[in-house]
Structure 1
Amino acid sequence: MNKSIPNDVFKPKPTRTESKDDTTSKAAKAIINDELAQRLAKTERLRQARLAQEAVAVVESKAAKPKARARKAGKA
């Protein structure tokens, strides 16, 4: 007869305060991680928008440059 000991027998049960603290900590970590993900997504979105805007500005500046006019010879 082999009697197995349940795994939960020797694990200490958290007190009521510890349980509340754990719940609060988990909720706070979830909020912080969510805010971090939102901040990183916003940063990436703004970076892509800036790069696109800079690319358009470069193309426009190349197209908008006036060509140098030749000076007339003979006037001094």
Structure 2
Amino acid sequence: MTEQAVRSAVIHTPFIELDKLLKRENLAATGGEAGLLIAAGLVRVNGEIERRKRRKLYPGDRVATGEKRLEVVTVLQE
């Protein structure tokens, strides 16, 4: 099995909460589904199972669920 490419998830704020990121990036259909995925231990942040749905993610954090991979990146605004 080959590892899927890591996709960038761009944020324009200092951080984003895990459940909101999953919903925004279409890894979950709803916020409720995102919460269920997290509670079931199906989401990893930086390689560790994460069960806090409101976990703050910062640029450089990596999120994985199933075969989907994201890396949080930021765009500096001037």
Given the two structures, how large is their TM-score scaled by the length of structure 2? 0.18
The structure in which a higher percent of residues are strand is 2
The structure in which a higher percent of residues are helix is 1
- Taking CA–CA contacts closer than 8 Å with sequence separation of 6 or more, which of the two structures ends up with the larger relative contact order? 2
Given the two structures, how large is their TM-score scaled by the length of structure 1? 0.19
